[in-house]
Amino acid sequence: MSFHTRGALRLAALLLAALCANGASGADSPDTPSVAAQHFAAAAVRAGDNQRLPFAVVDKVNARVWVFGTEGELRGTAPVLLGLAIGDESVPGIGERKMSEIKPGERTTPAGRFMSEPGRNLRGEDIVWVDYEAAVSMHRVRATNAAERRLERLASPSVRDNRISFGCINVPAAFYDLHIQPAFGQARGIVYVLPETRDPRDRFDFLGTP
């Protein structure tokens, strides 16, 4: 069993146990938060960690994003494309390097709590900065390279083909316009990226001590 698989199972087991303890049940569906995201969002609001700001939870294991309001009310969910490489850390200084210099194994979407802010890329497109120093943003999916099949990857029911980006979080354009841009494109918010190789309690104090 791979390290990634063990980490994913540990994450799912931890959060599932917490949900069951609170009386939650039922299978995940595309219209409701995953077990991991649901427990996480509730814990963040209870602890006041979202600072009464809208927030997003990115579940890398399930390749989805959920957008929540200030009180934890679910506003929408969509599949996402993520960094090609498995891992929860950004390579130091990666945000200052040219994309052509970034190796496949360095293309990670970092995990953690990020204060997002509106921004624009070099093309002048509006984006949401997640980790500015690492040059990681959330933006509309771009289908400029047909060989990458990014739209097909988003539409696929499998999560195995959702790893393609340099680390940015690619969101369906319609979902971005309906949910991401209004919530995070005008002012700051919180973006939580759940880890895929680490215990989430190592990253988020409000989940308790490992």
CATH code assigned at 58: 2.40.440.10
**pLDDT digit string, tens, across residues 5-62:** 444 444 444 444 443 333 333 334 455 667 777 888 999 999 999 999 999 999 999 9
Domain around 177 = 3-207
Query: Minimal CA–CA distance to 195: which of 51, 95, 90, 48?
Result: 90
Residue 105 sits at φ, ψ, to 5 deg, of -70, -5
Neighbour count for residue 95 (Cβ, 10 Å): 14
Is the per-residue pLDDT at 129 higher than 80? yes
Domain count for the chain, please give it: 1
Of residues 33 and 124, the one with the higher pLDDT is: 124
Biggest CA-to-CA distance, the chain: 49
Q: Which residue has the tokens 């990666």?
A: 94
The DSSP bridge partners found for residue 67 are 56, 76
pLDDT in the model for residue 36: 72
Q: Are 77 and 65 in contact (CB under 8 A)?
A: yes
In whole angstroms, how large is the CA radius of gyration of the chain?
16
pTM of the complete model: 0.84
CA atoms within 13 A on the CB side of 24: 17
Neighbour count for residue 72 (Cβ, 10 Å): 15
Q: What percent of the chain has pLDDT over 70?
A: 84
